[in-house]
Structure formats: C-alpha cells, structure tokens
C-alpha cells in the first residue's frame, strides 16, 4: 500500500523504509511500488527516511527506477526524482533488462528519452517479432486456427496453478463460444472445461464467500470479474456458486463506485479502475441473486457515476468506459459519444494500439472492435472492416497473434502450450480478443 498517510503512519511506528513485499515470485520495495504508481509524495517521504533508490528486489532484481519507467501510467516526475537521488540507469534485473528496456516496452516515450539523456542504453533488446501470415486467411479459417491453439491451454494452466486465469481460460472461453455459435468447428469437450474449472475453483469457497470473506483469495477481483464475464458470455445460468461470488464482489466496491486492484501486469492487470468497474457491472447484473437485485442497482448506480466522470488513460480504458456505460444502461447518446472517441483512436493501418506510443496490436484491436459492436457499430461499417482486415493481415502462420509483454510477471513462468515463450500469456489474451472480434464480424 503506497497511500502516503498509511506509509507515514507505519514509518512513525518504526517501519523499515526499505521494506520489501512479496508478490508471487517477485519481491519489490515499498519505494518501487510507489514509483510504479507514480506516487511522488510517498516517494519523497520514503527517500527522506532513508529508502534506497537502488534497492533491487531480492527476487527478480526489480529496482524502483524500472518500476517507475514501466508503470501502467508512467510518471516523469517519479523518474526524475529517482535520477536526482542517484538511481542507477544501468542496473539490470534477473533477465538482464535495465530501466530503459522496461520503458521501451511502451515505445519511444518521453521517459525513454529522459533515461537516454541520463546515460542509459538498451541492455537486453527484444528479439524481432515472428513473421506474419504470408497470405491473409478468410475470417472463418482464421478463427478456426486461433481457437484450435487456444482450447488446449486452459486445462494445462488450471492443472498447474488451480487459477481461473483470464488469459488462458475466461477470454478463450468467450472466443470459443462465439466461434461455435457461428458454426466454426471447435473441440466441444475442451469447450466445457473453462466453466467446470471456474466453478470447481470457486465452489469450495462458497460458504466463506457468503460470510463476506473474499480477499483471502489472491486476485479475487481480477479472477471473479473476468470469470463472471466469461460465464455470462457463455450463457451459464446463475447457480449457488455464482450467487456467492457476485455477492462477495459487490461487497468489495468502494464508496467512490470502484473496485481497487494492485497488479503490476498491464494491460491485463491494469490498476485503472475502469476495466474492473465494467466487468463487475456485467457480472453483477447477470449473477446477483433475485433477492439482492435492488441492492445491486445501487452498486451499479455508484459505478455509473464513477465511469461518467472518469478520464480514460489509454485505449483499454476507453474500451471499458464504452462497455460500462452500455452494460449499466446509460442513455444511448452517452454510449455513442464514447464509442466515437474509441473509433477516433483507430490507426491508419486499421488497428488500435494499447498506448499512443505503441504500435497497433491484436489485443487492443480485438477489444476495440468488441466494444464498438456492443455500442451498436455495424460490423459492415468501414471502421469494423478496417479492423478486421488488420487482424487478418497480422495473424501468424500458426494461427496466433503475437503481443510483447510489458508486465512485471509475478507468476512463475511455465509453458502452457501456447507459442511465444514468456510473451505467451498476453499473446493468448490477444488471440482471444482477435478471434472474438472476427467471430462477431461473421
């Protein structure tokens, strides 16, 4: 927690300003977390009490400067402060990357230029991306090849981690369902796995969830918002397990209408509240028990008030602002206005990018097309057709789409059977969104 008041209280009680927190296989200092959040006031406080600007996490070797450079919303002030305090621009993490390498995962940003001016040079440049398909396939063929790569990874990931997984289960489940509904061949035995696995993970916790004990489960908000979204898209009917999950999720809403998440894995683990607000709305409207419908309407109203005033920070934020307004029942004029803002982010190549400094990719493009379709944009429109053409042109020969990770991955890496090595989880999510968008276009 990098809230300044909380940190100040803990320091006054004798807390170590160099305290590290374990996040899965990684560890990072409180200063590094504040740097990732761009919380400059807290950083000043910690540095003034003796926090080391070069303290690398004991597991992973992540420094505060790396976290600042690759934050979901990078802060130039945070980077400048660390440089002023002597942060080493050439320090490397366990994979040999320095702060500039991390900054460059978001493209040629002002922070990348700032680090170069401070003497940094790339230490571990990424390998070139895989070659794209030589001849674009038909949409139906592209979808069939994509879901064939997606379907086997859910059981592997779930068996290894007992995690529902948005990237290897929930999003692939939506892609498979939409493809199957449109006559694209799928493996129906594997298609049943995500629902079974999700309910099997949640089921044993039902009694505890009904008592309001939610957060003892790691990543509860992330798993349940994506999980309920996946179940809703698959058409899974409400049941006693989804009742408990929905009630617990509703109880975690903050007074400002948001659900707060701390996750250093953008874009999937984006700490921005917009994505989880939208997904929570979808899940709660579908799975709140009938006797609690009146209460959940108050929850939705608070969310809608937050969404209306929220300023999107990137393409994904804009996507989920459109979806939140649509799912929460906002007037069509509001939905259309935000959809037009999303449409305006389309690049000349037909795709959308995660950030203005990044190139177009399948993750952002698939999401954008899904949101535009939900908002009422016709799949025959020039916008949708250009996006479809971009996806077909950028698919790989193996049926997947490649997206490079920019996340501080705290899960121990293992091969779940999807291509692209340490970039496989975000690439699986991107392939899912691409297949979803193409299926809607059918």
Position 410 confidence tier, pLDDT thresholds 50, 70, 90: confident
89: left (phi over 0), alpha (psi -120 to 50) or beta: alpha
Asked whether the beta carbons of 342 and 372 are under 8 A apart, the reply is: yes
Q: What is the pLDDT of residue 413?
A: 81
Confidence (pTM): 0.96
* Helix pair angle (139-150, 424-441), 10° resolution: 140
Q: How many CB atoms lie within 10 A of CB 401?
A: 29
Distance CA 202, CA 198 (A): 6
Distance CA 62, CA 57 (A): 5
Q: What is the pLDDT of residue 217?
A: 57
Q: Which residues contact 390 (CB under 8 A, 6 or more apart)?
A: 349, 350, 351, 360, 365
Lowest mean pLDDT among 137-151, 284-298, 400-414: 400-414
Q: Is residue 1's pLDDT more than 70?
A: no
What's the pLDDT tens digit per position in 103-124?
999 999 999 999 999 999 999 9
What's the pLDDT tens digit per position in 348-385?
999 999 999 999 999 999 999 999 999 999 999 999 99
Q: Is residue 216's pLDDT more than 90?
A: no
Position 47 confidence tier, pLDDT thresholds 50, 70, 90: very high
Distance CA 278, CA 258 (A): 10
417: left (phi over 0), alpha (psi -120 to 50) or beta: left
Q: What is the pLDDT of residue 409?
A: 79
Q: What is the pLDDT of residue 62?
A: 94
Q: What is the pLDDT of residue 264?
A: 80
Lowest mean pLDDT among 161-165, 225-229, 341-345, 432-436: 161-165
Asked whether the beta carbons of 436 and 366 are under 8 A apart, the reply is: yes
User: Could you tell me the domains of the chain?
Assistant: 4-117 (1.25.40.20), 139-441 (1.50.10.20)
CA distances from 55 to 15, 62, 75, 88, 212 (A): 16, 8, 19, 10, 38
The dihedral built from the CA positions of residue 140, 146, 152 and 154, taken in this order, carries a sign that is: negative
- SS3 state of residue 396: strand
Q: What is the per-residue DSSP string for 137-177?
A: PPHHHHHHHHHHHHTTHHHHHHHHH----IIIIIHHHHHHH
Q: What is the pLDDT of residue 414?
A: 87
User: In what helix (H) or strand (E) does residue 66 lie, and over which residues does it extend?
Assistant: helix 64-69
What's the pLDDT tens digit per position in 7-19?
888 888 988 999 9
Q: Is residue 261's pLDDT more than 90?
A: no
Position 23 confidence tier, pLDDT thresholds 50, 70, 90: confident
Q: Which residues contact 240 (CB under 8 A, 6 or more apart)?
A: 206
């Amino acid at each position: 927690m990098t809230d300044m008041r909380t940190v100040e209280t803990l320091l006054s009680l004798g807390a170590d300003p160099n305290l590290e927190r374990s996040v899965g296989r990684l560890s990072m200092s409180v200063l590094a977390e504040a740097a990732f959040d761009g919380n400059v006031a807290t950083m000043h406080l910690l540095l003034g009490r003796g926090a080391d600007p070069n303290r690398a996490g004991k597991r992973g070797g992540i420094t505060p400067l790396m976290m600042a450079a690759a934050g979901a919303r990078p802060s130039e002030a945070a980077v400048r402060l660390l440089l002023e305090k002597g942060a080493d621009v050439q320090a490397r993490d366990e994979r040999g990357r320095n702060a500039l390498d991390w900054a460059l995962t978001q493209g040629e940003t002002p922070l990348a230029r700032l680090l170069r001016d401070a003497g940094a040079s790339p230490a571990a440049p990424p390998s070139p991306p895989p070659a794209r398909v030589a001849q674009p396939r038909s949409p139906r063929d592209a979808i069939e090849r994509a879901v064939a790569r997606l379907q086997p990874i859910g059981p592997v990931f779930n068996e290894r981690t007992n995690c529902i997984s948005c990237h290897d289960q929930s999003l692939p489940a939506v892609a498979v369902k939409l493809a199957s509904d449109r006559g694209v061949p799928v493996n129906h035995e594997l298609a049943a796995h995500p629902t079974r696995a999700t309910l099997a993970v949640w089921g044993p916790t039902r009694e505890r969830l009904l008592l309001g004990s939610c957060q003892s489960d790691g990543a509860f908000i992330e798993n349940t918002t994506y999980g309920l979204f996946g179940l809703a898209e698959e058409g899974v009917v409400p049941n006693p397990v989804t009742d408990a999950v929905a009630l617990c999720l509703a109880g975690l809403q903050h007074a400002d209408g948001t659900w707060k998440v701390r996750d250093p894995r953008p874009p999937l683990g984006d700490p921005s509240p917009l994505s989880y607000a939208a997904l929570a709305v979808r899940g709660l409207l579908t799975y709140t028990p009938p006797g609690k419908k009146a209460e959940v309407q108050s929850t939705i109203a608070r969310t809608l008030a937050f969404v209306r005033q929220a300023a999107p920070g990137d393409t994904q934020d804009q996507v989920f602002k459109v979806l939140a307004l649509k799912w929460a029942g906002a007037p069509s004029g509001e939905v259309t206005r935000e959809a037009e803002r999303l449409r305006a982010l389309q690049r000349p190549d037909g795709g959308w990018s995660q950030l203005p400094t990044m190139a177009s990719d399948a993750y952002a493009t698939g999401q954008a097309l899904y949101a535009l379709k939900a908002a009422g944009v016709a799949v025959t429109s020039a916008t949708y057709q250009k996006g479809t053409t971009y996806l077909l042109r950028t698919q790989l020969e193996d049926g997947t789409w490649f997206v490079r990770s920019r996340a501080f991955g705290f899960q121990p890496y293992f091969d779940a059977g999807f291509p692209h090595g340490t970039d496989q989880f975000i690439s699986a999510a991107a392939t899912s969104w691409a297949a979803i968008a193409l299926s809607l276009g059918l």
